[in-house]
Structure 1
Amino acid sequence: MIRRPDMNVDYQDRLDFLYGRLNYEWLGMPKLTEELRLGRMRKLLRLLGDPHESLRIIHVAGTKGKGSTSVMIAAALSASGLRTGLFCSPHLHRLEERFSVNGQEATPDELVALTDAVRPAVETLDAFCADSRYRGPTFFEITTAMGLLHFQRKQAEAVVLEVGMGGRLDSTNVVHPELAVVTTISFDHTRQLGSTLGAIATEKAGILKRDCPAISGVTQPEARDAIRHVAGQRRCLLRELDHDFRYQYEPPPTPLTRPAAGRVHVKTWRTDWGEIDLPLLGAHQAGNVAVALASLDALAERGWNVGRDAVVRGFATLRWPARVEVLGEAPWLVVDSSHNVASAEALAATLQACFPATRRTLIFGTSRDKDMRGQLQALLPLFDQVIVTRYLENPRAVAPEEIARTIEELDGRVAITAVDPAGALALARKRTGADGLICVTGSLFLAAEARALILNEVAAPTVGRILA
């Protein structure tokens, strides 16, 4: 945690307390899943009065797309008139981003108050755990509890709760939701979740609860069968992509002169939603829209009412930073938080389909626990030159020299090395023409640091929205 001179003393003190906790986002996930225990989270919430029990929750898991799907569902619910909380992680720039209501992040003062509310409960559990072999509450457990408490205090009428990792043992999995959603399954966190799609899907399906309806965007047979098995055990009414609901993606017309998102036609067992403009760039977002709209139909069967007009209004103002986010033009400047093979492949396809054909520069940095070779194999064919770097505010970064060696092994080219994101951006601008494209990706941490640099450099009218 970097101390900023402009921070309020009370605010900084609370951040110091939170970031002083065991933080797997910084250290990497534990090798042994036994370190992830829901009992500790339940005890923490009990000491806080169980704020989650008064909330109507949509619980969203998945390897890829869970954040985008969560923000789509939340945008539609907000536009329908419901006071809607959204819990997503990790954050890009400020911890308060993790819990918002109707698109408004918690304020610094609210963060201070929430930290003060949970701290006595944390200290009670610390004392209890001191005489046992178990740890006290972790950073993610504490911030999850803060989010749930925030939504209770703000009297949220709906809460979209994104899983942090996996599902079965995730800190969010203490809730009893109105609806459980699993977006996609691919390989990530295999050490903790399993080395097969079936094993990973079983962990993700751990969020399914008895007699609670579920939506699945999973289509691979092995993973789909695993989710069906869990749903059957727990008597869940399961609605599946390509079985109970379908979508057809319409790419933007070519040739393109500017980035464009395309459209999607979604039809569920209940509603023909017609064609809707994609709120985010990429064909993969069409599948996320389908899962989001199917989720709304599942909620409608439980008495919720969110129509097409609310979806269109919500999508029109939806913002999701660092997800193929266009932050400038001449050259096009794209920041994306892809950090595994599936997301790198989706980014590559999006750059091909949704952006003008032009000379392209890749700025790449990643984390030690990620499949670097797989990401690079997906991305390298699209780029004329590569600049490798590392993020600075987290110890998990891979050294640029190691990335450069891997690139040379993969396709023989010599990557340019930059010691930090600022240097990488400066080099990319010098070496990329005004009609070209620069893409920063490989890690959410790199995306966050590059995005902060870009936003601090210029308050461009294109920041934070798709250029159409």
Structure 2
Amino acid sequence: MTTDSYRNALDALYARLDYERLGMPAACSSTELRLGRMRRLLRRLGDPQDAFRIVHVAGTKGKGSTSAMVAAALTASGFRAGLFTSPHLHRLEERFVVDGAMMTPDELIARCDELRPAIEAVETDWPGPDGRGLTFFEVTTALGLLHFARSGCRAVALEVGMGGRLDSTNVVRPAVSVLTTISFDHVRQLGPTLGHIAREKAGILKRGTPAVVGVRQPEPISVIREVARSRRCPLFELGTDFEAFYEPPRPPIDRPSNGSVLVRTWRRDWGPISAPLPGAHQAANAAVALAALDALADIDPTLEVLPEHAARGFATLRWPARVEVVGEAPWLVIDGAHNVASAEALAASLRSNFPEVPRSLVFGTSRDKDLAGQLRALLPLFDTVIATRYVENPRAVAPDAIAEAVAELGGPTAMIAPEPTLALDLARRATPESGLICVTGSLFLAAEARAAALGLTNIPARPRLVT
């Protein structure tokens, strides 16, 4: 590998229209989000997505964690397994994982070289919105599917980017479809009610394909059942067809613990096993992941995962920026919660793992998120608040606007830091060694704070967007 060829490959990808950084168009029905050219691109590549079994995972929260659990259990069972997630924290290659190892720079160069002629052919026939060609997410989705095929994967956990019905991943024919949770996020694109959001996400359900669902609220589950009936999808629901029993960490707690989970499906009992990630919400995600694996085994018995293998995979799972402890004295937790439901889940996890300690919040979020809703979930836990922003993306809310929102909600007077490194410095000075600092509000903020806290260097620079 040469540094120039790697940099050129990254630059070519990052130059594409990137809704992760710019924000999505307001309407999901936009012609910008049609799937036809994605199908054309994959056809030019020989339809790599048909080379392996796919567990296709959508949901408002928990879809990345659930996908990671599915892939970890498959790998621990000896099956070559792929994992596709987004966005990445530090390196683009994090999105494309095979048997727990992310794509190498050499593999990235090779896959991009293989993609290029297909991209050029598709863009010649249809240049896309405003003549700007295939989007960043379309190309990286194809890149991942191609990588998994070339790597000889037998099964892949494929996380939806946003929504479901018109997401670029929704060109695959999965063995199992998964819907983790439904809550409010991306309402401008997906609709104003939980029913609207559920219908968009249920767009990944394919005729006759089993669907595993962690949704329990009446409004969205009724929509999901309707879609499943119309498409003749066998439906497996949390609380009806499978269940999770969570055992929280037992005091005294001298360091964060994940607790344990027993999952009971229509095929077997799993566990009790150590929960793969902290928080009661992760026990529900584990139940959905294990139920998805049982549904996969129903379709293809050669891919059966046994409980001892799932336990081994869960024990080795590391999922950065999900209630991740990256420092002590004081504890430093980084979490990518970026909507109200995930903020509520984070708050519950912090109450369980860090009871009765002084807590400082470092918070920054994006303009299209529910700022007040997230703060309402978090502020009751914290004595100190530092308002900040991520710097590599123009979607960030200004720190002074966050501080004003904190004041309007009756929170403590917020300190203001223009970027995450300074925010961490302020938090460390304000927090005793026995206390807790939590950084949250955005995966973009989590990435920058994590790099600063861990002293990560040699992270390939991503072109900075300006407005």
TM-score (norm 2): 0.95
2 CA distance for matches of 1:70 and 1:126? 31
- Which residue of 20, 24, 27 maps to 2:22? 27
Matches within 5 A, 1:176-187: 176-187=173-184
Q: Which residue of 2 aligns with 1:344?
A: 343
* Cα deviation, residue 264, structure 1: 1.3
Matches within 5 A, 1:18-417: 18-33=13-28, 34=30, 35-130=32-127, 135-302=132-299, 303=301, 304-417=303-416
- Summarize deviations over 1:37-94 as a string: whole Å, max 9, x none: 1101101111111111222111011111011111111111000110000000000000
Q: What letter corresponds to residue 281 of structure 1 in structure 2?
A: P
Is 1:10 the counterpart of 2:1? The answer is no
Q: What letter corresponds to residue 310 of structure 2 in structure 1?
A: V
Distance 1:84 1:51, change over 3 A: same
* Cα deviation, residue 457, structure 1: 6.9
Q: What letter corresponds to residue 157 of structure 1 in structure 2?
A: R
* Cα deviation, residue 405, structure 1: 0.7
* Cα deviation, residue 127, structure 1: 2.5
* Cα deviation, residue 222, structure 1: 0.9
Q: What letter corresponds to residue 160 of structure 1 in structure 2?
A: A
Q: What letter corresponds to residue 3 of structure 2 in structure 1?
A: N
CA contact (8 A) 1:390 1:400 kept: yes
Distance 1:457 1:233, change over 3 A: closer
Deviates further, 438-447 or 53-62: 53-62
Q: What letter corresponds to residue 391 of structure 2 in structure 1?
A: L
1 CA distance for matches of 2:196 and 2:9? 38
1 CA distance for matches of 2:456 and 2:439? 16
SS at structure 2 position matched to 1:49: coil
2 CA distance for matches of 1:407 and 1:7? 48
CA contact (8 A) 2:127 2:134 kept: no
1 CA distance for matches of 2:252 and 2:119? 57
- Summarize deviations over 1:258-280 as a string: whole Å, max 9, x none: 11111111111221223111110
2 CA distance for matches of 1:131 and 1:141? 11
Q: What letter corresponds to residue 307 of structure 2 in structure 1?
A: R
Q: What letter corresponds to residue 287 of structure 1 in structure 2?
A: A
CA contact (8 A) 1:345 1:379 kept: yes
Distance 1:238 1:423, change over 3 A: same
- Summarize deviations over 1:351-402 as a string: whole Å, max 9, x none: 0012242101100000000001100010011000000111011110111011
SS at structure 2 position matched to 1:361: strand
Distance 1:402 1:115, change over 3 A: same
Distance 1:135 1:327, change over 3 A: same
1 CA distance for matches of 2:270 and 2:121? 50
* Cα deviation, residue 309, structure 1: 0.7
CA contact (8 A) 1:184 1:218 kept: yes
Q: Which residue of 1 aligns with 2:418?
A: 419
Distance 1:188 1:131, change over 3 A: closer
CA contact (8 A) 2:37 2:126 kept: no
Runs of 4+ that moved beyond 4 A? 130-135
Q: What letter corresponds to residue 187 of structure 2 in structure 1?
A: T
Identity of aligned residues (%): 64
SS at structure 1 position matched to 2:126: helix
Q: What letter corresponds to residue 53 of structure 1 in structure 2?
A: D
1 CA distance for matches of 2:205 and 2:229? 10
- Summarize deviations over 1:83-141 as a string: whole Å, max 9, x none: 00000000000000001100000001111111121122222222223498675210000
**Alignment RMSD:** 1.6
CA contact (8 A) 1:361 1:383 kept: yes
2 CA distance for matches of 1:298 and 1:47? 31
CA contact (8 A) 1:326 1:332 kept: yes
1 CA distance for matches of 2:129 and 2:216? 43
Q: What letter corresponds to residue 198 of structure 1 in structure 2?
A: G
* Cα deviation, residue 183, structure 1: 0.5
Structure 1 unpaired stretches of 5+: 1-5, 459-468
Matches within 5 A, 1:427-442: 427-442=426-441
CA contact (8 A) 1:260 1:355 kept: no
| Number of aligned residues | 453
Structure 2 unpaired stretches of 5+: 458-467
1 CA distance for matches of 2:224 and 2:413? 44
2 CA distance for matches of 1:368 and 1:292? 32
